[in-house]
Each structure stands twice: as structure tokens, then as C-alpha cells.
Amino acid sequence: MRLKVFLFITLIAASASADYREFKQITIDPSITTKVQRAAETSLKQFPAMKAEDLAISVVDLTKESILARGDYHGDDPFYPASVIKIFFMVDTFLKNKFDLPDVPRAVREMIGVSDNDATAYIVDILANTEPGPDLDPKALERFIDQRRSINRDFARLGYDMISAMGKPWSFGPYGRDRQLIGPNRVNRNKLTANATTSLMLWIARGRAPESALMLNFLARPLGTLRPDENQVTEFIGASAPADAKFYAKAGWTSEVRHDTAYIELHDGRKFVLTIFTRGQAADVKLVPAIARNVFLEFEVAVPPAP
């Protein structure tokens, strides 16, 4: 037990050197900012029903490990994250040392691989030591919400004080105490920014998060020949990425939003993290691929022909 506690404390201490504060120190490259801005403007012209404030793009170029550079468009604006929040739940599973519990490996694999909400609900309750059920009285509800906030506190210690990751993604819910948790005016609803998401993907991509190699395995999405159960490529960033790229991603979508975040290793050696958040045009399955294509073209990436 002492060894496990020691390893956990060591892990948290090590992670503190690779957090959101470090991301904010990455040089904002004017050339990247300009490319992202142009890609956003092109996308807004292609999709005139989309408002500028309903689009966010964040890019980090990590081709040269010692000289990272980034740029964004509305990268610090908050969005409801849909299933993109699941990468935060995955990371917290390792931060809290919960991966060896029964059914957790299977649940994480299904939460990330096919974006399963049942698996995610199991993981959230494991992380927060909560359980689903009917409505709670005010005092019990306060305790329940505080337990869920433990996930937020884990990320706040890493500098992510702008996010909220305390609610379960639902297919048809929420129900009972999970409905109560959302609160008046949805105050406790999940929340992410494109920059925060890019930061977390960057931490994994650089091998600095706990069990990064395993997490990349969960996030891997082969582009050459899609897996039969793959549901996070053809309507997202992967649809516009070169087929020979190494591609790791987590998409999210609801009737309100359509997002994707990806780590991409190109055949020519270049490496990027790209996050695209959109709001209000979620029914358009061509939206995220088109935005990604515009970004890739700005970076002179050889993209497949537009559909």
C-alpha cells in the first residue's frame, strides 16, 4: 500500500511539469495564427450559417520537440464538449490510479474507441466515487456534486481551471441525481476550450502523461482501411487527413455541437495537434472535414480530394 501511495504521489508530482501552464508558455507563432485565421475565415464563407463565435480552432506544431509553436482562433472560448470530454476522463483514470479496477480497461477502451456512453458513465462514477440513482435531498445532493467536482479539482491542480468535467455524456438522459447535478441554467454542465483540449492531447502525444503509449493506442484511428466499427473518422478531421498519416483522435457530437481533436504524424515528419470546435451546425457532417481541410491546406499538407 505504501508503495502504491508513493507511486501515485510521484506521478502527480511529475505531471505538474507538463500541465496547462506549460502549454500557455508555448510560443504563439504569428505565422500559425495567420494560417488558422485564414482557415477559419474560409470556413465561415463556406458555411455562412455558422457564426464566428461558434467556431474555435487550436493548433500546435510539435515537429521540433525542442521548439513548439502554436496558434488559435477563439481557442479560449468555452464550448459544451460533447464526447471530447472523454479524453479528460481517460487521463483522470490514470491520474487517480484506477485503471486496474475491474472492467475499467474495457470501459476506457469502449469509451474512447467507439465513444460509448454506458462505459463513460461507469468511468465517471469510478473517478468520483458516486453512483446513479433517484433525486437527492439538498444536503445529499451537495455532497454528490462535491464528489463529482473531484474530477475538476484534479485538472485544476494541473492548471485547467477553465474546464468542467463532472457530468456524464448521455444518449437520452440525464436522469435523477445526474439531472439535478446540472443545476440552474446548466451551471455544472461540462465545459472545455479548444486550447485546453489541445493541451491535453499534446501532453499525451509527447509521452508525458501517465501511460501515454496506452492512451495513444486507445486513440489510434487507422486511416488507410477503416475498422468496421470506426465512427470517428469519416465525418471528422480524419476525413481530410492524408491516408498515410498516423492519426489519433477523439470526436464529439450532439444536436448542438460537432467537435474533433487529433494528433497527426505526417509522412514527411511533421507533427500537429489540431482541435476543431463548432456550435450550431451539428447536423452538417461535412462541416468538420471541410474546416480541417482548410487548415491542412494552409499548412501545405497534401490532402485527399474533397468529396
Per-residue pLDDT, 29: 97
In angstroms, the CA 173 to CA 190 distance is 14
The DSSP symbol for 234 reads T
* Same domain for 223 and 124: no
Strand partners, 69: 27, 61
Compute how many other C-beta atoms are within 10 angstroms of the C-beta atom of residue 294: 24
Residue 185, domain extent: 82-190
For the segment 218-255, what is each residue's pLDDT rounded down to a tens digit? Answer: 999 999 888 888 889 999 999 999 999 999 999 999 99
* Same domain for 197 and 166: no
Strand partners, 252: 259
Per-residue pLDDT, 170: 93
In the structure, what pLDDT confidence band is assigned to residue 18 with cuts at 50, 70 and 90?
Answer: low
pTM: 0.93
As a residue count, the chain comes to 307
> What average pLDDT does the chain have?
93
Asked whether residue 116 is domain-assigned, the answer is yes
For the segment 31-46, what is each residue's pLDDT rounded down to a tens digit? Answer: 999 999 999 999 999 9
Residue 176 CA: distances (Å) to CA of 134, 144, 151, 169, 263: 4, 12, 20, 14, 37
* Same domain for 67 and 50: yes
Domains identified in the chain, total number: 2
In the structure, what pLDDT confidence band is assigned to residue 188 with cuts at 50, 70 and 90?
Answer: very high
**Per-residue cell: 17:** 511539469
In angstroms, the CA 132 to CA 178 distance is 7
* Same domain for 127 and 202: no
* Same domain for 88 and 64: no
* Same domain for 92 and 185: yes
Q: Which amino acid is at 252?
A: G
Residue 8 pLDDT greater than 90, yes or no: no
Helices and strands of the chain, counted as H and E runs:
11, 8
In angstroms, the CA 124 to CA 5 distance is 22
Asked whether residue 12 is domain-assigned, the answer is no
* Same domain for 228 and 177: no
In the structure, what pLDDT confidence band is assigned to residue 305 with cuts at 50, 70 and 90?
Answer: confident
* Same domain for 142 and 232: no
